[in-house]
Structure formats: C-alpha cells, structure tokens
Structure 1
C-alpha cells in the first residue's frame, strides 16, 4: 500500500510539473520573505500584544507568543516541505490535489478563496477605520447620516474608501508581480524600522517592576499580579489568540510559479519570515508590558497610551504612521495569493479556464486578479469588520 501511495503521488506530481508556467519567475528570497513578514506582521503587532496582556495572560503574553510561534513553526515546516516537492501556484489547494484528489482540492480551494477574499476585505475595512479614527470619525458619521444601510446582516454604511483601496491594490497586482513586490518590500522595511524604534524607545522606558506587581496592588479582575497573573490557563488562552497573529505566512507558498528557485527559496522564506515575526512579537510584548502595568493597557491602541503615559508624543505618532504602513502591507499580502488560487484552479479545469489566462505583457493572471479584487472590494464596502472576522475564521479553520 505504501509503494502504491508513493507511485500515485509521484504520478500526480509529475502531472502537475508537466505544464510549464506562463507566470514570470521574478521573486527572489528577499521578496518572498518580505511578502511573508508583511502579510503577517500587520496591525496585530501594534494591537495584539496589548489585547492579550490586558486581561488574558498579563506579562506572560511573551510566553504565549513563544508557544504560538512553535505551533506556527510546525505548520510552516509542513508548508515548506510541500512547497519544495510541488513548486506550483496554489498553496494548500495544489498540495491537496497532488496528495488526495480533485474533490478535496476543490473544497480546500474554495475555503482558501473564502479566507483570502474575507481577509482582504477585513484588512481594508480595518485600514479605513484607522484612517477614520485619525480624522475624528468624520467619514463614518457622514456616510451613516447620508447613506445608511438598513439591512441587519450588512454594515451600517457603504465604505467607499475600503472599496477604492482594494480596487487600487488589484490594479497594482495586475500590473506585475515584481512591481507589487517592490512596493511591498518598501512598506515592510518601513514597518520593521518602526518596530525597531518602538523597541528602542520602549526599552529606554522599561521597568522590571511591572513584571513583579504584588497581588495587593492590582484590581480584583486582574488576577494575582506578578509575571503570570492569570496562571497557565491564561498563558494557553493567550497562545490560542496569538496564533492568529502568525497566520499569513502561507501566502509565500502561493508563489511557486513566480519564485526564482522555488524548491530552495520558498522553504527558506517561510522559516525566515516566522523567525522575524516571532522576534518582533516577542520584543514588542516585552517592552509594552514593562512600560506600563498590564491592567492599565488599552486593548484597542496599547502603544499610543503607553507612550502617552511617559510623555513621548513623537514616538506615539511614529507608531501611528507605522501602523498605516503595516496595514498596507497586510492588505497586499492578503490580496496577493487570491488570484494565484483562482489561476491554479482554472488551470486544472476545476474553475473557468479563462481564469488561468496569463496576460503576455504583465505576465500575471489578469482576469483572476480583477475578479478577485472586485469581489473583495464589494465585501469590504458592504460588511463591517466584526462580520468579516467571524466569516474569515470559518475559512481559516477549514483550510
């Protein structure tokens, strides 16, 4: 049976390799790593640490991130193994097609489409909300008054800003993989520099005493004080929430037909991006909980409050600008894999064949990119963030 399974898998792998890719192989190791880091290290790095520290894990959020990183590493190594053996566009869809069959691949493919469409829409809606908060919610108040949507399962108003941003991103992705990757590299580098500034500035204001607060000095709801105020249960609950902060590196696996030397570079990029992401999360959560007691954190915007408390207002605005760049890279990383999934499914005849057509000039799946951008843009315009996050969880868990 084992020999038969290997033979069938080898034959399917050969079938997948038979057709030469029409996509441009232009993405190097740095491009792939930046794509993984950018898509994963989004607004979560500025929000997630404070949320988990506030009432779930306390300062032990650092341990929660470590546990989540180990779990993500196992998943990442699995993706790396598949990517080395089957260097084709399509990520988990192609791996399911090669190892199990068309029916399971069809199901996984649609789950991935659901995940990436809703992921793109939710990041766009989050970015729109972030811009809105910077202008005192004037945009949402105006649209709510002039164009209210009175349907229970939709958002309160049509979000034209997020609609336009997704369409603009779709146009950029349709223009070429190298061009969109170059922009992603710039945004990711700005994001990493911002995190570096936060670590240095936060480290200068860190106090170890905030990890050793006695139980008598903390509010009743805030556990027992100290480093692990909510116990092991809090650490594990925090790890479960932190795990979603690492979801996103799998977009690297969708670049199998656009990566230079995919058998080497995709596994390396997955591992390297996970290391960078973990170091960023671990460092940020450490300085945040040392700057300000965990029970005083703002779960929605922890860093502005932390730097307000030490009166470092310049760093507060640097963090705000960094969060905008982080959301832009997340949006690009969420959108990038979607046309590749449609391209792979169209190539195999599971979806319309026209979706697998590659434009001779841009060397991208043009129709698949435009269709996915339009679909995600409409979702972003009509649904609010909470509804999108709930729907995204379904796709992620199934995939």
Structure 2
C-alpha cells in the first residue's frame, strides 16, 4: 500500500482570526523588511542608479506572475503549508517534502536576515550618536547579539497566537508604510524643487543590462510576501476570497513603494556636496547595505532617525511574518508525518504550533548569529527562487489534471503563459546568483540534499495519505511478456465483460500486456480508511474481466483510491507507460457541462496514450466500416483500428472525406499511401468524397449503410466542456450505430504529456 490510510486528526485546530487587512499587512510586512534597506545600496553599487529602479520594477512584475500562481492554488487548496500543499497535490510526497523543507528554511533564513537588518541599522544610528562608546565588544558582535535578542522577542510574540501575530504585524507594517511614505514624498519634493537632481541617474546603466540579473536575484527575497499569506489558509477568514486578494494587493503596494523610495534615495544626494566627490550613485553604492540610510540622511533633516525608525518598523514586521510562515511550513510537515508528529502539536492555550515554532527559532537564531549578511540574503533569495519555480510548475499541473475537481476562488488570466514566463526568469536568476554569492550555491543544495536524505530515511515510510492523493490499495502483477500495455478501467461487473470483448481484437493485434484497473470512490465526508468498504464492486468487475482474458493474455489487476476517477486513470496510464486506454460509453449523458461525461472527457483530454472509446459495440469484427477522414494522427489511428476490427474474410473499410463548400478537399489516396501500413491499405475500399455544410449530418446519413463507425476525436482543446462539442463528438452523441472514437497521442503535445 502506497502510504498509510490511518485516520489522522489533530485534536486542537489553529484559530481562524485573520481578515483581509491582516493578511495584506502580513504580506506587505514580510516584503518591506530588507528589500529597501539592504537592497538599494547594493543594487546601486552593482547595476547603477537606473539599475535599482529597473531591478525593483522587473522583480515586481515577475513576483506578480508567481503571486497569481500562489493566489490560484491558495484559493483552491487553502491550508497551512503553502507550497508544500501545492506540491503534494501536483507531484506527490517526495517533491512536496522538498518543497516544505525549502519553505521552512527559506522563511527562517529570511527571518534571520530581517533580524540582522534591524541590528545593523539600529547599532549604526546609535554609533553615529556616540551612544555605544561604553560597549566592551566590537560593534559587529553587538549587531549579532541584538539580532538574536530581537528574534527571540518575535518568537515569543508568535507563540502568543495568530491574532497577536496579525495585530502586531499590522501595527509595525502601518508604521513602516507611513515612514517610507514620508521618505518617498520628500524625494519627490526635492526633485520638484531641483529638477537637476535627475542628473544623478546619468549614466542610467553604467554596468550594462547584464548586471540586472544579479541585482534581481539577490533582491528577489524582498518580494516573497505572498508566501506567508499562503501559509495562513487554516487561520484566514473566508480564505478562498481573501487569500488571493491579499497576495495581489500586497505585491502592487510594495512594488510602488520600492520604486518611489529608491527614486528618493538617488535624488536625495546632491552632486558635489561635502563628501560626494564622484558620481552620486558611486557614493551611495560605496556604503553597500548601508547606502540607503546614508542617502536619506542627505535627503532630509533627521533622515538618520527616520531611517532607523523605518527599519525598526519594517524589519520587525518582516521578522514577525517570516517566523509565522516558517512555523506553518514545519507544522504542515508534522501534520502529515513528514517530520515527527510533535511538530504538529498545538498549544491548548494559545492554539499555536509551539514545537514547530521552537524548531524555526533554532534556525533563525543560528543563521542570524553566525552567517554574514549578504550570504544570508543570497541564500534566502536562492531558496525562494527554487520554491517559486516549483509552485509555478504546480499551478500548471494542478489546473490541467484537477481543474474539474477543485473549487477555485481565483483563476489567473493568460494561463499558462504567465507561470511559464516566471519559470524561465526564475531559473535564469537562480543561475546568476553565483556571481553575487557563491556561498548561496553551497548552502541551498546542501539543505536540499539533507532534506532528500531525511525523506528517504524517515518521511517516505511514515507520511500519511492526504485526500488529494492516489493510493494503490491492491495490485496483482502478471509476468511481463510484452511492451505493448493496454489499460482497461472497469467499475461495473454488469458491463466489464462487454468492455473487454470490445477490445479483444485490439489486444490480440498488439499481443498486449493487459492492465485491469478499478478506481474506488470514497465519499468526501468519509476518511480514507473507509476505502475497503467501497471496493467490492470493483473487485467483482475485475474478476469478470479476468475470466475472459487470462486464457489469452498476461493480466495485471490494480485497485486504487482517488477522489477523482479520471485523474486516477490518467495517473495510472502515465505510471505504467500505457500505450492504449480502452473505455466504454453508454451514450449521451444527462449533464450538459460534459460531452461524454465527467470521467471520459478528462481522460481523452489529458491521457498520455492512445484512447479508444467504444459505444454500442456488441461484436468483435465488422464487415463494413466507415472511417471519416480529415487527415492527421487521429485519422491515421482510426484507419488502423478499423483494419484490426474489420472481418478478415470479406470485410472492407470505406474512408470518407467531407469538406465545406469552397474548402480544399483532402486527397485520401495520397494520405493513406503516405501514412498507413500495408495491412491497412489492403482493407481500404474506394474512398468517398462529399461537399456539405452539415458535416455531422452527412456522416450520420452515410453511416446508415455501414456496420461500424470509427472516427478520430477532435483535438484536446475542443473537448473542453466549456464550449460546444465539435463534429466527432456530435456524431458520437447522435448515432445509434456501433462506434469507436479514437484519440492519438502522436506529436509534441503527447510527448510533453507522457514525460512531463
């Protein structure tokens, strides 16, 4: 059995107290924590004055793409765990453990970064005021000690509960937005009073466009706030509505804030003023992570105090949010037994996962106290880039495989273009990270490698099954004697025998290895441990089919659980490397939102193998077979199936091509000569041609003279139940004749379905 079906509940649940305002403030607070204070000075140093603006603008755009992926997935799967949950649904246990492991580390490291940011700016300001002369240690060690102390404070605040965390985060986030707004307004005012300050942006990109990839890479950590919002699925009020809104609102607000504040920093320094001997951007960049603070001191009176105050608000709100996010990631791993179940223990008093919080605190304090600042920032950015890369893959796979199954509160536009663009950009940024911090390329793979080892040695054998997963309940494997695998899903013992009789000639021609599959449906209100109660009908169907098949073919039988039968069939076809799926269809369904039904439609659309759908087929061979032909792989497969099912003694196949008036006619003889094997060509009688505006009606009229229709399906997109059915589906739904509809998987689309 692939995973335990034990009932797993945690007696005490997380408290649902976070509204849209709290969620948005958590996202904003997590983002505006280090992006401005550490990122501006370093980005100007590496990419120049224009580079810092382009860095934040482009990162904001890329972050919006990924935020839409998070928003869509969070609206459908609103649970604590974020990317871990998404990967569990999309790719299974192994990938999801690595996602949760990265998420835990990345958020914890980001929290360390914010604690260090707070310490650097606070100590720097006090040092400028000569208030640290009494300090018996070097200021560097003072910064580390202060970082550890402030981290401990916010670990305690998180322990107090979600409401306390949300209110504290909202307070500090509002404070930082006000102070940053003052800095931005001051920059705009200075520019209006002295437009010559725009000369500070000359040259705009002194280091060239290539440096943008570096600055985008190490500042990307400043845009990961939507990740903490995704972690709040179990604690958000109306999560399907509020989680997506909070993500998109926070990205927009933060991107605008970054651009305004970065502009203010550049124009805030007057060229040629005391101490500024060269270009302004070189002067700011020379201070590295402290460059923003130095620029603001030149911008306005009490600038140093304002920056310090802003840092206190921003870094602490971000620290608060990242500790919350990291804790929920490790809690989710414990909840599903990927980590020891003690990580899922919840305080009865505060209703917070206190063991997970303690584990997070250990990482935060260790990194804040021992690792250098830029390597901390780069490591966090690296982990988030890899995590977001995975989430963008998840949104594509989940929408495609489970779109009909999930209840979405938000669907992104231009799907799947936006997640694909985000994937390409994030992969590029991750590769360029080595130029900023080679250490990041050591820390990130080391953590992932350690996680893979823990999964193999611990989590793989102990994790519990979630309701979205596919579980093999029983399987009896036959000896493998053929590479041609044919999958026949059976469910009803009353028609299982007829279905395998329909496909007998196909199995015989392929000398097939037969895979009989039954999918067990457990009502959603019941736990997975009740699967055994719903298996008897599937077992009986398999027995009926085996009685007929085992004399002739090697037969493997499998009983699986899945909430969605179509997804279970497609998954089995992919795992078992199936060549052909044989399905039966009773006829037109009463539902108007599907063509063939909620099972057959998704299988035809998503299967990585050829699909044959039989309707009203009571014989194994037929004398006169009509094959409507329009060219392409489906027509080629239809002719091949017809050649298998035609009576070998005196049967024949008639290909028919119908075109609309004024349209070019397909040369059937040339198509068959080029695309079909000799065995098919020998069974083909003289092709028929017709011109008609009513293609479906003409096919049905011609079919009256034949014993069987074999027709190729329309392409996958036409099978979407959101649009009207196309010609093959209209024929299939309207005819009472025996019919086989086929879908071929030849071409690049099928290659991607099979291997990706």
Return closer, same or farther for 1:226/1:164 CA change in 2, 3 Å cut-off. Answer: closer
Are 1:262 and 2:257 matched, yes or no?
no
Gaps of 5+ in 2: 270-279, 388-756
2:321 is matched with which residue: 333, 340, 357?
A: 333
User: For residues 211 and 195 of structure 2, what CA distance do their matches in structure 1 show?
Assistant: 21
CA displacement at 1:352 relative to structure 2: 1.1
Partner of 1:302: 291
User: For residues 47 and 392 of structure 1, what CA distance do their matches in structure 2 show?
Assistant: 13
Partner of 1:67: 58
2:42 is matched with which residue: 48, 51, 55?
A: 51
1:88 is matched with which residue: 45, 59, 79?
A: 79
Return closer, same or farther for 1:125/1:302 CA change in 2, 3 Å cut-off. Answer: closer
More helix by share: 1
1:355–1:367 Cα contact (<8 Å) kept: yes
Partner of 1:169: 154
Gaps of 5+ in 1: 1-11, 146-154, 215-224
Return closer, same or farther for 1:158/1:268 CA change in 2, 3 Å cut-off. Answer: closer
Q: How does 1:174-323 map to 2 (within 5 A)?
A: 174-206=159-191, 207-212=194-199, 225-235=202-212, 237-292=214-269, 293-297=280-284, 298-309=287-298, 312-323=300-311
Equivalent residues, number:
366
More deviation, 343-352/382-391: 382-391
1:398 is matched with which residue: 386, 408, 417?
A: 386
Which secondary structure does the structure 2 equivalent of 1:300 belong to?
helix
More strand by share: 2
Q: CA RMSD in A?
A: 3.1
1:49–1:284 Cα contact (<8 Å) kept: no
Are 1:113 and 2:98 matched, yes or no?
no
2:13 is matched with which residue: 2, 10, 22?
A: 22
CA displacement at 1:238 relative to structure 2: 4.2
1:59–1:289 Cα contact (<8 Å) kept: no
1:349 is matched with which residue: 328, 337, 348?
A: 337
Partner of 1:389: 377
1:116–1:335 Cα contact (<8 Å) kept: yes
TM-score where L is the length of structure 2:
0.45
Which secondary structure does the structure 2 equivalent of 1:46 belong to?
coil
Q: Which has the larger radius of gyration?
A: 2
TM-score where L is the length of structure 1:
0.82
CA displacement at 1:63 relative to structure 2: 2.9
Q: What whole-Å deviation, never above 9, does each CA across 1:197-216 have from its counterpart, x for those lacking one?
A: 111212221243333469xx
User: For residues 29 and 383 of structure 1, what CA distance do their matches in structure 2 show?
Assistant: 35
User: For residues 317 and 355 of structure 1, what CA distance do their matches in structure 2 show?
Assistant: 41
1:50–1:285 Cα contact (<8 Å) kept: no
Return closer, same or farther for 1:213/1:271 CA change in 2, 3 Å cut-off. Answer: closer
Return closer, same or farther for 1:140/1:281 CA change in 2, 3 Å cut-off. Answer: farther
User: For residues 164 and 141 of structure 1, what CA distance do their matches in structure 2 show?
Assistant: 16
User: For residues 113 and 20 of structure 2, what CA distance do their matches in structure 1 show?
Assistant: 28
